[in-house]
Amino acid sequence: MLGKKVPAVTFRTRVRDEAVGGPNPFRWQDMTSDDYFKGRKVVLFSLPGAFTPTCSTYQLPDFEKLAGEFRALGVDDIYCLSVNDAFVMNAWAKGQNLENVKVIPDGSGEFTRKMGMLVAKDNLGFGMRSWRYAAVVNDGVVEQWFEEEGYSDNCESDPYGVSAPQNILENLKARAAA
């Protein structure tokens, strides 16, 4: 994906809107790839599932904690994407008290499929999900790419290393120093 543009898709998000009223004041809001990526430098990380152990214990909270360091290196936003619907992603974001990382629901898997990162996880009863990867995306173009090794369907393990925020920060710092 290095040097390529991220796919143009529409994400179905749910946003809070008091004007809706009632006990569940949320509405649908379509967000396009341009809305997320155009004219900004972002770190995107994508993982196999909301609420899963590695993602919930390490990857997402570590990105949240290290957001200030990313910002200092010129990153405007950090996005966490998963092939989960907006209700699940919002519940996960709330449970993690996110203030810095924004979640992107790719419920249909269209973005992930077009990124070439959709894998079967039927061995876990998950269906189609995202392989774990991260990218630095500048104005919609992939500038740096961090894909976990062993991309495959029904993978028995869940590799996690190169897409950790600590590794991405090291790479951003090395670039800044070069």
- Note the residues at the interface with ligand BEZ (CB under 6 A): 48-49, 52-55, 124, 158
Minimum distance from residue 162 beta carbon to ligand BEZ (Å): 15
- For the bound state, the minimum distance from the C-beta of residue 158 to ligand BEZ, rounded and expressed in Å, comes to 5
**Which is catalytic among the residues 44, 55, 86, 134?**
55
3-state secondary structure of 111: helix
Tokens in use for 164? 């950790």
Nearer to ligand BEZ, 52 or 96 (CB): 52
Whether 55 is catalytic is: yes
Whole-number minimum distance, CB 177 to ligand BEZ, in Å?
32
Alpha-carbon distance 174 to 164, whole Å? 16
- Residue by residue, DSSP assigns 23-50 as S--EEEEEEEHHHHHTTSEEEEEEES-T
Q: Which is nearer to ligand BEZ, 76 or 122 (CB)?
A: 122
Considering the complex, state which of residue 51 and residue 145 has its C-beta at the smaller distance from ligand BEZ.
51
The residue among 42, 88, 83, 84 whose CA lies nearest residue 63 is: 42
